[in-house]
Amino acid sequence: MNFRQLKLACSVVSVSAAVFAFEGVKAQGQTPPVQVENQASHIQNVNQAPNKVAQFNPGGSTRSGSSYIGVGGFIGFDDNSTFGDGGFSVISKIGLSRNFSIRPSAVIDDDAIFLIPVTIDFPVNSVADTGFQRLSVAPYFGAGVSVNTDEDSDVGFLVTGGVDVPVSNKFTATGGVNIGFSDDDTDVGLLLGVGYNF
């Protein structure tokens, strides 16, 4: 097995593991109704409250804030890399549960590059309070796949990490580092953008 096949296998395993984890969490959150006798000796169905560990809720908010879609810029650190020297980007964050989200984005230059990571979202933390405005950040970390649409049509393994910064109730600024592994190369790029919360 060569390096390219190993990367593709790792990508498939990581996406499959995330899907199975979400299905397991969804199944654990469902509990059967319990029958209870009330004071008048009548029997009625009472739904036992499910454990609120995590529930699958596509498009919902996560611990790091709202889901969003927006625009930004991507800066590649090597002109000869799969990521190129960067370009315009369309970014998004789609909450999957309270703790997880998928963050698909497209980098548009001569050829499009699609970055599709699943991330663990951490809670919003206040890092500075100026008295006028509080600065909060919400870190995230994850892995997924990168798809390059040039003539080679390369699919590679992707690792990402960054922060979301809630600017207002309607907007979130984001910045993250993406590391792609493809064609026996390691490519690094910086993604910066602003998203509209939904």
Q: Which two tokens stand for residue 181?
A: 């592994």
Would you give per-residue pLDDT tens digits along the chain (198 residues)?
444 544 544 454 455 444 444 444 444 455 445 444 444 444 344 444 455 555 778 888 888 889 999 999 999 887 666 676 778 999 999 999 999 999 999 999 888 899 999 999 998 887 776 666 677 899 999 999 999 887 777 889 999 999 999 998 999 999 999 999 877 788 899 999 999 999
Query: What's the number of CA atoms in the CB half-sphere (13 Å) around residue 46?
Result: 9
Q: DSSP for 104-166?
A: -EEEESSSEEEEEEEEEEPPPEEEEE-SS-EEEEEEEEEEEEEEE-STT--EEEEEEEEEEEE
Element (H, E) at 183: none
Domain boundaries, the chain: 57-197
DSSP-assigned beta bridge partners for residue 116:
145
CATH topology of domain 57-197: Porin (2.40.160)
